Structure 1
């Protein structure tokens, strides 16, 4: 036992030293930028803003690999806190996006989006504020070529943290619970709206840019030391065992099914595009469409001027959000329905997802009270591509066997 304890202690010490080395290197790059490249204090703030956004994105990416299921108690409810792509929260199992990566669990995606949505809504405006595009406090400036060095240092530092997280195997013992912490949001707010004003006042008081740059770098060093001594004190996404729930089970009969029905890929793709476009303008995504249009208007007017710049920016910004929403819906359809195989056993009907290699639901055939055929709004307007079979149970629940090219064969088999 003492040898095992020494091994883990040595491993923790090595990880601490690696983290300390990367932290020191990134801060030395900032210090060199202030002295050697005469980096403006506002540029240093822009680096901090960039690093904060990259850190949130990294932790959101990590949450996709969390192996433990999130607790249902952490699901947002009500209209005040919509649960994005909540259909993925019920997908069982995971899949490997690459051979050298651990499995990604679709059930974590909605929680990851709860982390990314506040970032997407706020982070771009923070950058526009810091570069002086939308505020008179900061003079608009062009990034120097040497800024690439600062960006590279930040990306390398965050990549190191991501790789170290994978190598530690921590993803096997945590669950993903989304949401950016209030502390992290407060830091982003200070960086974008408070710090530029303070820097401007201090500069007006006669403090040199080098002195002010040293203060900013020193503040970053203090922040890094606090994070090193107290990991997660400004965690942007929670990874704690208290948020873990229980894995649901699906009973699958022994033996081979009497029949198996695969989903139609064309139908799934067409439906996903239609739903993606429609939900962009009828759901909560409308806010982001408007936000994208507003951001595009600001950028367009700055790049192309008037009178056509704002109009081009509005259309481009809104189109980008709609395209992202459609791509997200295509991914959802590909995961949820694109790989489903409906297996009919003598005593049960099982929906099996070949992507995640897990059964998604199972209904004993003796519990089926009614079998009905329907095609829905979209299917009725397509050239007989697909239909849907609805299975009603005696307990009031129902399941749909969707995107089928031969619904009559399914209905006849289940009615037999």
Structure 2
């Protein structure tokens, strides 16, 4: 065990709980406010671990890939992107292949966490009286953020990201913890308060429970793990053979076509795919908030439209990011003996086809293709083994076809 790391973790844990204890005694924090802090910390912890999983350097094993499981993977096309890129010089590479697994962690949180907050603040339940956060609550929020930031920095410094793979998902234990915080604990606190237990006594019990939880986590790391990414799920990444020497020609994808397609797919998938559930959920959440902020009769309608629009906008932005990563940086390099799709963002070849294996070269000329601008041009490469690859969004597809037919 790293003694220095253990001491640092213990110090941050003690400081965080001392802030809560001071809030109970000095700022007269209500027990329901303390529960709200715990709910906030649980959500921030999941977000932190989801962010960490983006940097996991090893690919997941076949059992955890989208093709090896029945789990619905969001943006699963990113799972096939090879290589990574540095978002900043002082950070390790981010691997796009981890994004679908990260979303598997965040989606349950987004679907469940806001309702927990509405419950704990009394917006949508009569169990807790609606209350306004005191100014001193900023101190509790700051303590939580500093604690989680410390864990994030410590994880980077340990280099653990080099030995793990992202497999996504929120553990059932952590979901149970969130459920207890949002839906069970407020009832229990209300019953105990009605029995005559004082605010300070309840606050001490809640802070003591948190201390016990922190000690258990310190002695048994991950016993209530939120995001599941471990070295046992790591697999091996296949290699893509790239010929030596310089290519005879290189063709870049057109950014205009990539942008237009991403916006169209983002809007369409918001209403035809699984995202429709979140559009409806966003509308429902917006209706509750709109009713509370603007009242009737216009508040609910404004909230529904705003909530649904936010989800659609997020889905479009996500699709734009996917297009930027997957196709926005693709360069199709034609070598004397192979065709290679190279991603300049991740600095990795995505696929390679020996030219002798190409059985047919076809230019896209269907009904839709004839009505789109030239920069939507596509070329399909068929192989003798039945596989095919598409070279998409090129301005001069004729030049590609002539070169490959030569």
Q: Deviations over 1:343-375 (max 9, x none)?
A: 011111000000000000000111111111116
Measured at CA, do residues 118 and 78 of structure 1 come closer, stay the same or move farther in structure 2, by a change above 3 Å? farther
Aligned to 1:314, the other structure's residue is in SS state helix
1:383: Cα distance to partner?
A: 3.0
Aligned to 1:251, the other structure's residue is in SS state coil
Measured at CA, do residues 35 and 360 of structure 1 come closer, stay the same or move farther in structure 2, by a change above 3 Å? same
Asked if the contact 2:84–2:346 (Cα under 8 Å) also holds between the matched residues in 1, the reply is yes
Q: Deviations over 1:285-321 (max 9, x none)?
A: 0000000000000001001100111111111111111
**Aligned counterparts of 2:226 and 2:174: Cα–Cα separation in 1:** 6
Measured at CA, do residues 231 and 135 of structure 1 come closer, stay the same or move farther in structure 2, by a change above 3 Å? same
1:255: Cα distance to partner?
A: 1.1
1:403: Cα distance to partner?
A: 1.0
Cross-structure match for 1:276: 266
**Where in structure 2 are there 5+ consecutive unaligned residues?**
none
Asked if the contact 1:341–1:354 (Cα under 8 Å) also holds between the matched residues in 2, the reply is yes
Q: Deviations over 1:66-108 (max 9, x none)?
A: 1111112013569963111111001000000000000000011
**Aligned counterparts of 2:81 and 2:210: Cα–Cα separation in 1:** 41
Measured at CA, do residues 102 and 169 of structure 1 come closer, stay the same or move farther in structure 2, by a change above 3 Å? same
**Where in structure 1 are there 5+ consecutive unaligned residues?**
1-10
Superposition RMSD in Å: 1.4
Q: Deviations over 1:30-72 (max 9, x none)?
A: 0011111111111100000000000000000000001111112
> What TM-score comes out, normalization by structure 1 length?
0.95
**Aligned counterparts of 1:377 and 1:388: Cα–Cα separation in 2:** 13
Asked if the contact 2:63–2:69 (Cα under 8 Å) also holds between the matched residues in 1, the reply is no
Cross-structure match for 2:225: 235
Asked if the contact 1:77–1:83 (Cα under 8 Å) also holds between the matched residues in 2, the reply is no
Measured at CA, do residues 28 and 189 of structure 1 come closer, stay the same or move farther in structure 2, by a change above 3 Å? same
Aligned residues: 406
Cross-structure match for 2:30: 40
**Aligned counterparts of 2:385 and 2:255: Cα–Cα separation in 1:** 32
**Aligned counterparts of 2:396 and 2:261: Cα–Cα separation in 1:** 18
**Aligned counterparts of 2:65 and 2:190: Cα–Cα separation in 1:** 42
**Aligned counterparts of 1:14 and 1:278: Cα–Cα separation in 2:** 52
Asked if the contact 2:39–2:182 (Cα under 8 Å) also holds between the matched residues in 1, the reply is yes
Measured at CA, do residues 99 and 74 of structure 1 come closer, stay the same or move farther in structure 2, by a change above 3 Å? same
Measured at CA, do residues 63 and 202 of structure 1 come closer, stay the same or move farther in structure 2, by a change above 3 Å? same
1:396: Cα distance to partner?
A: 1.1
1:237: Cα distance to partner?
A: 1.4
1:239: Cα distance to partner?
A: 2.6
Aligned to 2:22, the other structure's residue is in SS state helix
Asked if the contact 1:379–1:385 (Cα under 8 Å) also holds between the matched residues in 2, the reply is no
1:131: Cα distance to partner?
A: 0.6
> What TM-score comes out, normalization by structure 2 length?
0.98
Asked if the contact 1:386–1:406 (Cα under 8 Å) also holds between the matched residues in 2, the reply is no
**Aligned counterparts of 1:182 and 1:39: Cα–Cα separation in 2:** 30
1:121: Cα distance to partner?
A: 0.6
